[in-house]
Amino acid sequence: MWKIFSFSLMPCKTLLQTRASLTVQETENVTDFRTKVSRNPKMEMLRCNYLFPEISAREAQHLKKYPNAEVISLGIGDTTEPLPDIVASSMANYAYKLATPAGYRGYGAEQGSKELRKRISETLYKDMGIKDTEVFISDGAQCDISRLQLLFGANMSIAVQDPTFPAYVDSGVIIGQTGDVEKESGSYQKIEYMTCGPQNSFFPDLSKTARTDIIFFCNPNNPTGHAASWQQLERLVQFAQENGSIIVYDAAYAVYITEGRPRSIYEIPGARKVAIEVSSFSKIVGFTGVRLGWTVVPEELLYSNGFPVIKDFNRIVCTCFNGASRIAQAGGLTALSPEGFKAVLSLADYYKENAEILLETFRLLGLRAYGGINAPYLWVHFPGSNSWDVFNEILEKTHIITVPGSGFGPAGKEFIRVTAFGHREKILEASKRLRRLLS
Amino acid sequence: MWKIFSFSLMPCKTLLQTRASLTVQETENVTDFRTKVSRNPKMEMLRCNYLFPEISAREAQHLKKYPNAEVISLGIGDTTEPLPDIVASSMANYAYKLATPAGYRGYGAEQGSKELRKRISETLYKDMGIKDTEVFISDGAQCDISRLQLLFGANMSIAVQDPTFPAYVDSGVIIGQTGDVEKESGSYQKIEYMTCGPQNSFFPDLSKTARTDIIFFCNPNNPTGHAASWQQLERLVQFAQENGSIIVYDAAYAVYITEGRPRSIYEIPGARKVAIEVSSFSKIVGFTGVRLGWTVVPEELLYSNGFPVIKDFNRIVCTCFNGASRIAQAGGLTALSPEGFKAVLSLADYYKENAEILLETFRLLGLRAYGGINAPYLWVHFPGSNSWDVFNEILEKTHIITVPGSGFGPAGKEFIRVTAFGHREKILEASKRLRRLLS
């Protein structure tokens, strides 16, 4: 059923031209005046467009072609279910009070409210020895990844899982940590790509991994949906200790971990000395549009000269950020109350039931789908195919948006990512359309 | 009355020690393990602590010494008056609706909602030819300044007003645009400081200003409170055109301009080809804790190779940011409605009346105070004194927090900044305490 494409990455130039015409109007005829400011060469090195805006652009193109198509998006991992009442009400009440002399508040601490930092440390890091002062509230994990890159600077060597969420690599390119891009694979020189696939149970072979200063590790992994076992994470922490590396552990999807596996890196002994944890309320409680996250930097994490990383991160947060919205913080506080967290878990269950439906669908199609159990993502294998072609074919035949695996790194070239975020009826309809391809 | 101090900047080391003990517990005894990761040398180059956290630390010290003191803060420029009802209600309603299937929204566009971008372009940039697609919604001006620095990168030469808001210089240090700090003055090599003081009516002498790639220009200036005249801004735009420079125009306080002076750089012909404008809802409507701002990047603004700056900025926004909170955006939209904007202007009037009271107070004290007419800041001159000493003396004698001028650049060494943000009764009480020093 699936066309087997010979592997060939779409050349970057073509993509760039498409994108340019879609995002910003061509300006060449508007003016002849140019400043004498050189374009930042790091920006020039960025591979094509950022993945998700590119997909949105393709969706828009598709809708031009099929104006009446009912497109279902299993693409960007965006929450679809309403917020728990209790969470929305707490934000609404907070907002109302801002119109009263007693309830008005101006600037908050750049690091976030004491109360929320405390609640995160006490609920999500219970028994892990994380202090409230080690928790920094952010406006989301992606934003803090950039701030961490500002903290680290251009001279750091970095490792990333391959495949992985593109923000680590892209922000690394912008800050200057990478070499040239290799046109064939789309990978950057000077980045250590830690291949994760079915062949190694989606955990990198650390014996073949070169030492780097920073190891970005997304767990459960986006896009593969794999959650590391205790033994795997212990090996990672040990690897970092032996190499004197810093792990940046992205736990944005930790709440979806079903099987008895670690959710936080700090469940692993010794992690406080080698790991930063980045996380988010986005996928926990549907705050993708509300914007709230956090980053933990333990006091024991030291640079080679003994200087605590937390002090520099604090400086970055105070200089380059000005705190998350107080209204969002009020919502986060409620989401981590006993009642709020019950609602949070039932939201996660809903999306995981979606994942089960989709897993069964791909099984029926005779395709290998990974993930979907400890994460709201499925990672579907199309051996021998090119993922952008698969993306296009699925879109053309079913009006379903997915994400081409190559957007997550060279090892994703034969995969597509399918999100389990979605209204149940849309998931069922998508399942029906996909199964129809069989008949 | 005012002790005349011989000029001597407090050495950086002393400050650093003070700060360290106030922010993060010393960790030296906790662990012997150090990673092999070198501290980012750019972070090491940062001068002491970021200004405002340092002032908060001093306030905390003061309160330890005088636990019963009623400290009045005329320090950090933080709004104190409740939000207009209509603005708070719109945010509350938006938050409530997020708990309903019809009202729930996930990720918004990284660039902000179409509706808000359109309203900003149509209300604040009416007749200036700014399109909605050139307006990027942010979580505040300070955050976008860092993102602009990411956009520009390490190889840019920059100019700043002296004195000016510290975020431009500090983010420039972090990104690598500056040379070493000169210990005597606290200024950085490779930055062009454009001195602004009473001697040049607070507008830089451009005939003596070296060409740089980027010119950060805060107008009305924070801290001096000076708003440039038409002629002055025209000269600035012409200077940028002649030099092929990019102006980053920070208009965060533009709503306070009373006299017939330009509020936006785009009121000056030709500015679209040389200027980016950064702005914020913080001081407009009291959103310091709600977090909302915007940045305008015109399509005609081109790098020397003809590439539009807007395309790279769009990429930065998509990669390093994920949109401002939708709830805050709902509030911003209402603040710019006809009814909302009426409330906005009456808030600005309230703070400007505060400024008048304070201007009169300093006049009675025989001190020269600048600003306060087109901006919510007063810039008070203490000839021959060191501003941190003046800060300490005022705090000690009146329990009033100000901001030492040297925190804004070498030219601020004999000044303190006084904010007009505050409840009226606090401003009156502060005025009384200051006048008491005379008697």
Q: What is the 3-state secondary structure (H, E, C) of A140-207?
A: CHHHHHHHHHHHHCCCCCEEEEECCCCHHHHHHHHHCCCCCECCCCCCECCEEEEECCHHHCCCCCHH
pLDDT given at position A313: 98
Chain B residues with beta carbon closer than 8 angstroms to that of A81? 104
B199 and B257 in a single domain? The answer is yes
Which residue from A245, A307, A323 is facing B291, i.e. has the nearest CB? A323
Q: Of B338, B366, B385, which closes a domain? A: B338
Identify whether the C-beta of residue B155 lies closer than 8 Å to the C-beta of residue A38.
Answer: yes
Residues 6+ apart with CB under 8 A from B229: B203, B261
Domain contains B187: yes
What pLDDT sits at residue B19?
30
Please tell me whether residues B324 and B206 are part of one structural domain: yes
In this prediction, residue A10 carries a pLDDT of 35
Name the nearest CA neighbour of A255 among A117, A130, A349, A167: A349
Position A19 in a domain = no
Question: Does B204 lie in the same domain as B57?
Answer: no
Return the amino acid letter for B128.
M
* Closest residue in chain A to residue B214, using alpha carbons only: A37
Q: Express each pLDDT in B375-393 by its tens digit.
A: 999 999 999 999 999 999 9
Res. A236 pLDDT band, cuts 50 70 90 = very high
Q: Which residue has the tokens 């650093």?
A: B16
Candidate from B82, B301, B302 with C-beta closest to A100: B82
- Which pLDDT belongs to residue B56? 87
One digit per residue, the tens of pLDDT, for chain B of length 439 reads 444 333 333 333 333 333 333 344 444 444 589 999 999 999 999 976 667 878 988 999 999 999 999 999 999 889 999 999 999 999 999 999 999 999 999 999 999 999 999 999 999 999 999 999 999 999 999 999 999 999 999 999 999 999 999 999 999 999 999 999 888 888 999 999 999 999 999 999 999 999 999 999 999 999 999 999 999 999 999 999 999 999 999 999 999 998 899 999 999 999 999 999 999 999 999 999 999 999 999 999 999 999 999 999 999 999 999 999 999 999 999 999 999 999 999 999 999 999 999 999 999 999 999 999 999 999 999 999 999 999 999 999 999 999 999 999 999 999 999 999 999 999 999 999 999 987 6
Q: Is the same domain home to A164 and A278? A: yes
**Domains identified in chain B, total number:** 2
Distance from C-alpha of A209 to C-alpha of A220, rounded to nearest angstrom: 20
Residue from B39, B168, B278, B317 to probe the interface with A (highest A Cβ count within 10 Å): B39
For the segment A117-136, what is each residue's pLDDT rounded down to a tens digit? Answer: 999 999 999 999 999 999 99
CA B18 to chain centre: 25
User: Which of B37, B175, B286 lies nearest to residue A245, judging by beta carbons?
Assistant: B37
Q: How far apart are CA B60 and CA B54, in angstroms?
A: 10
| H helix and E strand count, chain B | 14, 13
Flag whether A2 is in a domain: no
Domain boundary among B320, B338, B356: B338
Q: Which helix (H) or strand (E) holds A118?
A: helix A114-123
- Tens-digit pLDDT profile for residues A281-294: 999 999 999 999 99
Enumerate long-range contacts of A58-67, CB under 8 Å, 24 or more apart.
A58/A391, A58/A392, A58/A395, A58/A401, A59/A395, A59/A401, A60/A22, A61/A22, A62/A395, A62/A396, A62/A399, A66/A399
DSSP one-letter code for A273: G
What residues of chain B lie within 8 A of the CB of A139, using their CB? 139, 291, 322, 325
A210/A297 same-domain check = yes
CB B220 within 8 A of CB B374: yes
Could you tell me if B117 and B102 lie in one domain?
Answer: yes
A22 occurs within a structural domain: no
Residue A15: predicted pLDDT: 33
CATH code, domain with A407: 3.90.1150.10
Task: With H, G, I as helix, E, B as strand and everything else as coil, classify residue A109.
Answer: coil
Q: What is the pLDDT of residue B48?
A: 65
Mean pLDDT of A9-31: 38
For residue range A304-323, list pLDDT tens digits in order. Answer: 999 999 999 999 999 999 99
pLDDT in the model for residue B210? 98
pLDDT at residue number A28? 46
Sequence-distant (6+) residues with CB within 8 A of B16 are B48, B49
Q: What is the pLDDT of residue A54?
A: 84
**pLDDT number for residue A5:** 32
> Per residue in A140-150, pLDDT tens?
999 999 999 99
Query: A322 to chain B: which residues are within 8 Å by CB?
Result: 139-140, 142-143, 291
**A220 within 8 A of A226, measured Cβ to Cβ:** yes
User: Quick check: A292 and A107 in contact, CB under 8 A?
Assistant: no
| Residue A60 belongs to a domain | yes
Query: Do residues B272 and B319 both lie within one domain?
Result: yes
Rounded to whole angstroms, what are the CA distances from B320 to A87, A128, B310? Answer: 27, 30, 15
**A126-130 CB contacts, 8 Å cutoff, 24+ apart:** A128/A264, A128/A266, A128/A267, A129/A266, A129/A272, A130/A266, A130/A296, A130/A298
The whole domain housing A55 covers 40-81+342-436
Same domain membership, residue A242 and residue A374: no
B279: closest CA among B50, B124, B75?
A: B124
Q: CA-CA distance, A310 to A297, in Å (whole number)?
A: 6
Q: Do B106 and A289 count as a contact with CB atoms less than 8 A apart?
A: yes
**Interval A407-421: pLDDT, tens:** 999 999 999 999 999
Residues of A in contact with B46 (CB under 8 A): 315, 319
Tell me: pLDDT of A50 over 70: no
Give the residue from chain A lying closest to B21, CA to CA. A311
Q: Is the pLDDT of residue A31 over 60?
A: no
Contacts of A21 (CB under 8 A, 6+ apart): none
In this structure, the number of other CB atoms found within 10 A of the CB of residue B67 comes to 7
The ipTM of this complex is 0.92
For residue A343, what is the nearest residue in chain B, using CA coordinates?
B99
Task: State whether B16 and B160 are in the same domain.
Answer: no
CB contact under 8 A, A302 and B84: no
Helix axes B167-175, B141-152, angle to 10 degrees: 30
Q: Which residues of chain A does B16 touch, with a Cβ-Cβ cutoff of 8 Å?
A: none
Which one, of B347, B333, B378, B267, lies nearest residue B132 by Cα? B333
CB contact under 8 A, A304 and B274: no
A275-280/A246-250 β-pairing: parallel
> In terms of domains, do A334 and A389 share one?
no
Contacting residues for A187 by C-beta, under 8 A, at least 6 apart: A162, A181, A193, A409, A410
Which residues of B270-359 form beta strands (DSSP E)? 275-280, 293-296
Q: Is the bond leading into B383 cis (omega within 30 degrees of zero)?
A: no
Q: Are B270 and B241 in contact (CB under 8 A)?
A: yes
Q: What is the mean pLDDT of residues A181-197?
A: 91
In a mutational test of the A interface, the residue from B40, B97, B211, B346 whose CB has the highest number of chain A CBs within 10 Å is B40
B271 is a domain residue: yes
For chain A, first and last CA: distance in Å?
Answer: 10
pLDDT tens for A323-345 read 999 999 999 999 999 999 999 99
> Is beta strand A415-419 parallel, antiparallel or unpaired with respect to A377-381?
antiparallel
Q: Do B320 and A34 touch (CB under 8 A)?
A: no
Q: Are residues A162 and A266 in the same domain?
A: yes
Kindly list the distances between the CA atom of residue B90 and the CA atoms of A96, A387, B103, B104, in Å, as whole numbers in the listed order: 9, 43, 13, 15
Residue identified by tokens 């994380």 is A130
- Whether residue A404 lies inside any domain: the answer is yes
Cβ distance B319 to A139 less than 8 Å, yes or no, reads no
H or E element in which residue B90 lies: helix B85-97
In the prediction, which pLDDT does A27 show?
44
Alpha-carbon gap, residue A216 to A145, rounded angstroms: 10
Of A338, A362, A389, which residue sits at a domain end?
A338
What pLDDT sits at residue B149? 98
Cα first-last separation, chain B:
10
pLDDT given for residue B49 in this prediction: 63
Residue A216: in which H helix or E strand, if any?
strand A214-218
- CATH number, domain containing residue A201: 3.40.640.10
Q: Is the confidence at residue A24, as pLDDT, over 70?
A: no
pLDDT, one tens digit per residue, over A74-116 is 998 899 999 999 999 999 999 999 999 999 999 999 999 999 9
Between CA A176 and CA B30, with CA B40 as vertex, the angle to 5 degrees is: 140
The answer to whether residue A29 sits within a structural domain is: no
Contact A327 B87 (CB under 8 A): no
The answer to whether B287 touches B331, Cβ cutoff 8 Å, is yes
A160-175 pLDDT per residue, tens: 999 999 999 999 999 9
Q: Crossing angle of helices B141-152/A309-320, nearest 10°?
A: 110
Distances (CA, A) of A206 to A162, A212, A217, A262: 13, 12, 13, 19
pLDDT given for residue B183 in this prediction:
82
Q: Which of B25, B27, B244 sits opposite A35 (nearest CB)?
A: B244
Coil, strand or helix: which one is A300? coil
pLDDT at A404: 96
Claim to verify: residue B42 and residue B153 sit in the same structural domain: no
CB contact under 8 A, B53 and A110: yes
